[in-house]
Amino acid sequence: MTEFSGKVVLVTGGAGHIGRAICARFLQAGATVIACGRREPEQAIRHGDREAHFIAADIRDPEASQALIAEIAAVHGGIDILVNNAGGGPPIEAATASPRLTEKVLALNLLAPLVLSQQAHQYLASGSGPGSIINISSVSGARPSPGSTAYGAAKAGLLSATKSLAMEWGPHIRVNALIVGLVHHDAGIDHYGGEAGFQRVADMLPLKRMAEPEDIAKAVTMLCSDDAAYISGATLEVDGGGEVPVFLHLASEAESPK
């Protein structure tokens, strides 16, 4: 795969489970990959004999993200693809969430990708072809998100920003988003109550499994490819067919013989 040879790609949150998979996919396709995060990862981000360059930066700080963009431009001459992947937030009831925590969640999941996109705009718009921005959103931004209201609101805002930026920045930059569903990784099994709970949740999905990080990475590179040259302002659902409504399971359990 050499489709992205000569392209410079920035992946925020590049050392996380999904971020690593996105970096590896672009490395495999020949791109020069820069990953960023708050802390240097213990293991290098690699695919085969190719390695992503990591730059430590807290993208919630506009000065830090501006310095990140400036360093990449100085070394590589510009940026062709920006993947706003960094995100997350702790589960907490809205009634007890502190204003400071809410600010941090909004800063990471909405303000940081928006500001970083603005800072990268001049480079994304001045390459040999249209630049590309991929915003990694979540099902939490497309349906109710009890227990993570601020996170869901931020991800919903990111979906709105995707469509607005696509309209404002075309034809020089394409902007698209992924609505990511449940993703399998070992660190998250406890969140679902252990292996049994994890498998039960996975079995409720139409494809009977959670996404692997590589599933997300493949969707990212597809939207950045020439095959998607006429796709902008789109939100692609990568959720295995969606979450089956709970009422169907409740009804099924009620009908099951005791």
| Residues 45-66 pLDDT 10s | 999 999 999 999 999 999 999 9
Question: Using CA of residue 201, residue 205, residue 209, residue 211, what is the dihedral sign?
Answer: negative
Domain assignments of the chain as residue spans, ordered by start: 8-255
What is the band of 217 on the pLDDT scale with cuts at 50, 70, 90?
Answer: very high
Q: What is the pLDDT of residue 200?
A: 78
Q: What is the pLDDT of residue 237?
A: 95
Q: What percent of the chain has pLDDT over 90?
A: 78
The answer to whether residues 6 and 26 touch, using CB atoms and an 8 Å cutoff, is no
What is the band of 258 on the pLDDT scale with cuts at 50, 70, 90?
Answer: low
pTM to 2 decimal places: 0.92
In the predicted structure, residue 211 carries a pLDDT above the cut 60: yes
Q: Which residue has the higher pLDDT, 189 or 119?
A: 119
Average pLDDT, the chain: 92
What is the band of 225 on the pLDDT scale with cuts at 50, 70, 90?
Answer: very high
Q: What percent of the chain has pLDDT over 70?
A: 91
In the predicted structure, residue 106 carries a pLDDT above the cut 60: yes
**Of the candidate ranges 21-25, 33-37, 98-102, 236-240, the one whose mean pLDDT is the lowest:** 236-240
Catalytic positions are 151
As a whole number, mean pLDDT of residues 124-150 equals: 94
Q: What is the pLDDT of residue 254?
A: 65
In the predicted structure, residue 238 carries a pLDDT above the cut 90: yes
The per-residue pLDDT for range 134-144, each reduced to its tens digit, is: 999 999 999 98
What is the band of 172 on the pLDDT scale with cuts at 50, 70, 90?
Answer: very high
CA distances from 2 to 6, 30, 82, 178, 199 (A): 9, 5, 18, 23, 37
As a whole number, mean pLDDT of residues 19-23 equals: 97
Q: What is the pLDDT of residue 196?
A: 76
**Of the candidate ranges 89-93, 203-207, 251-255, the one whose mean pLDDT is the lowest:** 251-255
**Which residues have C-beta within 8 Å of that of residue 157, sequence separation ≥ 6?**
110, 141
Class of domain 8-255: alpha beta
Measure the CA–CA gap between 53 and 74, rounded to whole angstroms. 14
What is the band of 199 on the pLDDT scale with cuts at 50, 70, 90?
Answer: confident
Q: What is the pLDDT of residue 242?
A: 82
